[in-house]
Amino acid sequence: MVSTIPHHIEGKDVPADDGRYLDNVNPWTQEVTATLARGSVADVNAAVEAARRAFDEGPWPRWSEAERSAALHRLADLVNANADVLAAAEAGDMGRPVQSARSIDIPRAADMFRFFGDHAALATGETYPSGADHDAYVAYRPAGVVAAITPWNHPLMLGAWKIAAPLAWGNTVVMKPAESSPTSAYLLAGLAIEAGIPRGVLNVVQGLGSEAGQALTDSAGVDRITFTGSTATGRRVAQAAAGNLVPVTLELGGKGSSIIAPDADIELAADLVSRAVFNNTGQVCLAGTRVLVHEDIRDEFTSRLVARAGAWSIGDPFADGTTLGPLASAEQHRRVRSYYDRVEAEGGAVLCGGPGEGNVFAPTVVSGIDPKGTVAQEEVFGPVATIIGYEGDDQAVTLANDTAYGLTSVLITDSVARIRRMVPRLRSGTVWVNCYQVRDLRAPMGGRGASGIGREGGTFSREFFTEPQAVFIA
């Protein structure tokens, strides 16, 4: 495994311009396992200039969609072939169990390169019949240099999600991974070169958000910004984008609801909620942590969820059989702990779970919490399910929509009428009915309100990462 993680600019490993490095800490052992380049304005400028050269002078934007798709398929093959080392990078950086990364995150990342490569290669555009004198059509031109800023909770999977579409549409990319999960993006940049993607097409700058991230979003050399991260940072990114009048998509925080109707299959509901709230130690923007349960089934559902919470196997992310790792950092542990400590003051009772040794946080079920309090309203980003009872569908919808966020909702019911009545009223970018975290890369992904601006996926990504051009030929 790498012990110093440099930038990757124009196909080469590049040290930090001013020689400054940050520590990369393993959240399970809490030991420093590597150092990473602490990107400066000079580093960011070098990466943006490399991406600009590759866009203006290099072959990538001029290749056919089919040629780019073939290169992205080769990259996908290499991602899968290197799944062990990539999974180990996620486990060491942020505590994702190596088995989960190996079986879920890494193959999903590979699939994204294949999907967006194919999507661009197979896309068609509109033509406009304009009488006998003109032919008219729309062409989708690559936008230019794309800044892609990613969080640490699923580093490679969310990184692939941010860069596969812009690459497929002929853009060049400067990627800034989170400072606590630098390794997989660095490895990916090397694999892109091995896949025959030209130098300068995918550049990676490491470093702090307030330094490298801010410099990247402030850069006048960037044509698009695609950002995934917290709502607070999203606001800063939007301000920087406004300064240069650069289109931006923001995939931000979430505080999703899981509504369990009185006719729900309670076994299914407990299963789905356990996955929706505890998977990845709760560090998932899509998590349905506000668990709204009809009073008729509340007790039974609660006892089944508590049983499920205890069934996760918490441990060393590298160990066989571990299904939940620690929280990703000591800072993250402090944050989750601060919400946990407020539970009683906000009217709730802890039924199971809580902080453990080091960065461990066991799956936690809280009942009776004030729906207006901070624990029920703010994104905890840890394995904490808050159970809130309700009595009728209208009340459930009101409670579900009573948050600043609007990313995802889960509805569990056997009634088609209830689905048709409730789903349109749920203020969220995605609604899962009797399922959780089903993804389709053609579908729009994004949120409302504090969960962000814009959508990516399928044609939604094409609209964002290209400049549609109307062409009229006499």
Segment lying near ligand NAD (by CB under 6 A), choices 13-21, 32-40, 205-213, 383-391: 205-213
Identify the H or E element spanning 235: helix 231-244
Report the C-alpha gap between 145 and 174 in whole angstroms: 7
Nearest to ligand NAD of 166, 213 (CB atom):
213
Would residue 277 be called left, alpha or beta, if left means φ above 0 and alpha means ψ between -120 and 50 degrees? alpha
Q: How many CB atoms lie within 10 A of CB 129?
A: 8
**Could you say whether residue 229 binds ligand NAD (CB under 6 A)?**
yes
Contacts by residues 301-306 (CB-CB < 8 Å, ≥ 24 positions apart): 301/260, 301/266, 301/269, 301/270, 301/387, 302/351, 302/365, 302/367, 302/387, 304/266, 304/267, 304/270, 305/270, 305/273, 305/274, 305/365, 305/385, 305/387, 306/351, 306/352, 306/365
Among 33, 283, 38, 13, residue whose Cα is nearest residue 157: 283
- CA atoms within 13 Å, Cβ hemisphere of 437: 18
The rounded distance, in Å, linking the Cα atoms of 411 and 386 is: 16
Beta bridge partners of 35: 4, 23
Task: Give me the residue label for tokens 């809280």.
Answer: 366
The pattern of x and - marking residues 113 through 152 that bind ligand NAD according to CB under 6 A reads ------------------------------------xxxx
Among 4, 130, 210, 313, binds ligand NAD (CB under 6 A): 210
Using CB under 6 A as the binding rule, the residues of this chain from 411 to 450 that contact ligand NAD are 447
Residue 209 is a binding residue for ligand NAD (CB under 6 A): yes
Residue with Cβ nearer ligand NAD (264 or 276): 276
Q: Which is nearer to ligand NAD, 105 or 179 (CB)?
A: 179
Q: Which of 49, 65, 285, 346 is flagged as catalytic?
A: 285
Provide the strand spans (E) within 339-445.
Answer: 349-355, 361-367, 384-390, 405-406, 408-412, 430-433
Q: For the range 415-418, what are the long-range contacts, defined as Cβ-Cβ under 8 Å and sequence gap of 24 or more? A: 415/261, 415/263, 418/261, 418/263, 418/393
**Minimum distance, C-beta of residue 243 to ligand NAD, in the bound complex (Å):** 12
Q: Smaller CB distance to ligand NAD: residue 58 or 454?
A: 454
Binders of ligand NAD: how many residues, by CB under 6 A?
30
Which single residue brings its beta carbon nearest to ligand NAD? 209
Q: How far is the CB of 216 from ligand NAD (least distance, A)?
A: 7
Q: How far is the CB of 165 from ligand NAD (least distance, A)?
A: 14
Measuring CA to CA, how many Å separate 322 from each of 95, 140, 365? 11, 46, 20
Q: Does 86 bind ligand NAD (CB under 6 A)?
A: no
Largest CA distance in the chain: 76
Subset of residues 156 to 175 that bind ligand NAD, contact rule: CB under 6 A = 158
**Judged by CB under 6 A, does residue 328 bind ligand NAD?**
no
**Cβ distance to ligand NAD smaller for residue 254 or 317:** 254
Give the residue from 151, 158, 28 showing the smallest Cα distance to 101.
158
Find the binder of ligand NAD among 172, 228, 249, 257 (CB under 6 A).
228
d(CA 332, CA 338): 10
Write down the least CB distance from residue 105 to ligand NAD, Å: 12
> Could you confirm whether 251 is annotated as catalytic?
yes
Question: Considering beta carbons, is residue 65 or 379 the nearer one to ligand NAD?
Answer: 379
Residue of 251, 346, 379, 456 marked active site: 251
Catalytic, 211? Answer no
In this structure, what are the phi and psi dihedrals at residue 32, rounded to the nearest 5 degrees? -75, 120
User: Shortest approach of ligand NAD to residue 176 CB, angstroms?
Assistant: 5
Q: Is 335 in the site for ligand NAD (CB under 6 A)?
A: no
Return the number of the residue (87 or 158) whose C-beta is nearest ligand NAD: 158
Q: How far is the CB of 64 from ligand NAD (least distance, A)?
A: 31
Binding residue for ligand NAD, selected from 106, 237, 336, 450, defined by CB under 6 A = 237
Q: What share of the chain is helix, strand, coil (3-state, %, to 5)?
A: 40, 25, 35
- Candidates 39, 144, 182, 213: give the one binding ligand NAD (CB under 6 A): 213
**Exactly one of 407, 410, 426, 450 binds ligand NAD (CB under 6 A); which one?**
407
The residues annotated as belonging to the active site are 251, 285
Residues lying near ligand NAD in the complex (CB under 6 A): 149-153, 158, 176, 178-179, 209-210, 213-214, 217, 228-230, 233, 236-237, 251-254, 285, 379, 381, 407, 447, 452
